[in-house]
Amino acid sequence: MSSTSTYQLTLHPVFDRLATVYGDGLVIDAGEEVRVTYAEFAERVRRVCTVLVDDFGVRPGDRVATWSWNSLRHLELYWAVPLVGAVLHTLNIRLHDEQVRYIVDHAEDSLILAHADLASSAPGGAVVLDEVWDKRVSGAEPMRDFPPVPEDAPAGLCYTSGTTGMPKGVVTTHRQQWIHAMSCGMVDHMGLSEHDRVLPIVPLFHAFGWGIPYAAPFTGAEIVLHGADSSAENVARILADHRVTYALAVPTIWKETLPVLRRGDHDISALRNVFVGGSASPRSLIEAYRELGVNYMQGWGMTETGPVATVARPRRGVDDVLDYTGTIHAGLESRVVDGELQVRGPWIATGYYKQEPFDGGWLPTRDMVQFEPNGLFRIVDRAKDLVKSGGEWISSVELEGLLLAHPDVRDCAVVGVRSRKWDERPVAVVVPEDGEVSIQSVRTFLGPKVAKWWLPDEVVTVAEIPKTSVGKIDKKVIRDQLSHLELP
């Protein structure tokens, strides 16, 4: 008798559980004001599977692309495509046309499915997800027998945002999604459970939707989808109207939503946790949400890390973790090489699509970090964003986090600018709350908090901080805009 299990970690048994154990759970599309039970959702997914195979000829291994908001139809495709053995390719609707054309060609997509509101901007030949699609799905027979799929078969394909060069493809397998989803239910990781109603404000086309399309159903957590509107007023309304207990977004969303929640017009008493990633959050923002009774958790990850790899939760003997990125999650390995964090593990990418694998399976993150003996760490900066002044390194991330607490600063970025004497010096690019923010004000505010030689030499006021397609500060654009500057 064999002592080794041959059980395959695919999404199929997770899907089967939806209609049985979690059948009365809800999926709510707040954008289109539709709600279905998990049992109804599962039955519709089976019909979508039939449409994909019988009407569009989708076969195992085919790449099926989506061009969509956070919607019920998009979530259905998250499940239907891998269940028939194909690969879900979530296209980033915010990328430039040239990048999208490159990605579609590189992925060799066999089918593109576009949300009706986005049809005019979709790549050529896309099938529109509209009322005609819905009728087609409603009239299809539910697929009962899925084609056999091994656990190492690709389930998803997502391209990086491409801030340096063209985007790179990251493939995730059934096994990787299964293990990542299970890890998200661990108490000291994301801690999702059947008692949660989750609102992923992060786009489902970015970094596999931070894993929520699989992690929530895996744990039984209900899902709320916000559609195309991620404005502060709409986020606050959805949090209250749908009694959301757990929400996920980048810091910008939470900063913009804070004043709306402070007005007290929306009852967010159900909201227990917000999970935040994409960039570091200022301590003042974290404390502000905790004053509202919400546990504000910082996490870290990348498309390449499947995506969530850390969560900053209190540790034994360490209650204050607000300044940390977190602890590398159980099951993953980490090391620091010349200050750069490298990781590997069962849900970490081992290489980019159609490229050579990473050396030894170690993913180079390009994040510069500092570790504590107990495993807690903080990201100092991205390797390319550190400011080297007089041979010493200045963390732009730390300066940004501090500067966001300035009462007159709405948003900011810090970049290095050429200096005749020091090689580089930091310049603060700020969006003021009202009027101007002077260099004297910035230096006075930061003076007690950092070394004197860290203080920015100049402030540039702008109407908006350039952001990437996934909401991160686009420092490449900022550096290009400031390329004419040269400091003493």
Q: 393, 458, 472, 476: which one is catalytic?
A: 393
Do 402 and 433 contact (CB within 8 A), yes or no? Answer: no
**Contacts (Cβ under 8 Å, ≥6 apart) of 145:** none
Which pair of structure tokens corresponds to residue 92? 């980033």
Q: Are strands 376-382 and 326-328 parallel, antiparallel or unpaired?
A: antiparallel
Q: 304, 325, 422, 475: which one is catalytic?
A: 304
Neighbours of 330 (CB within 10 A): 10
Annotated active-site residue 388? The verdict is yes
Task: Tell me the C-alpha distance between 123 and 111, whole Å.
Answer: 10
Short-list 71, 57, 56, CA closest to 116: 71
Helix or strand run (H / E) with residue 180: helix 174-183
Where does 223-282 have alpha helices with state H? 232-241, 251-262
User: What residue ranges in 420-457 does DSSP mark as E strands?
Assistant: 423-432
Short-list 354, 363, 357, 365, CA closest to 157: 354
Do 249 and 271 contact (CB within 8 A), yes or no? Answer: no
Q: Are strands 26-29 and 273-276 parallel, antiparallel or unpaired?
A: unpaired
Q: 135, 388, 436, 444: which one is catalytic?
A: 388
Which pair of structure tokens corresponds to residue 63? 């790449």
Annotated active-site residue 40? The verdict is no
**Contacts (Cβ under 8 Å, ≥6 apart) of 111:** 52, 56, 58, 62, 64, 65, 127
**Helix 38-50 and helix 11-20: axis angle, to 10°?**
130
Task: Tell me the C-alpha distance between 404 and 154, whole Å.
Answer: 41
Distances (CA, A) of 278 to 92, 96, 199, 206, 470: 16, 20, 17, 11, 8
Do 86 and 55 contact (CB within 8 A), yes or no? Answer: no
Residues in the chain: 488
Q: Does residue 463 sit in helix, strand or coil?
A: coil
Annotated active-site residue 393? The verdict is yes
DSSP for 41-52, please give it.
Answer: HHHHHHHHHHII
Q: Any idea which residues carry the catalytic annotation?
A: 160, 304, 388, 393
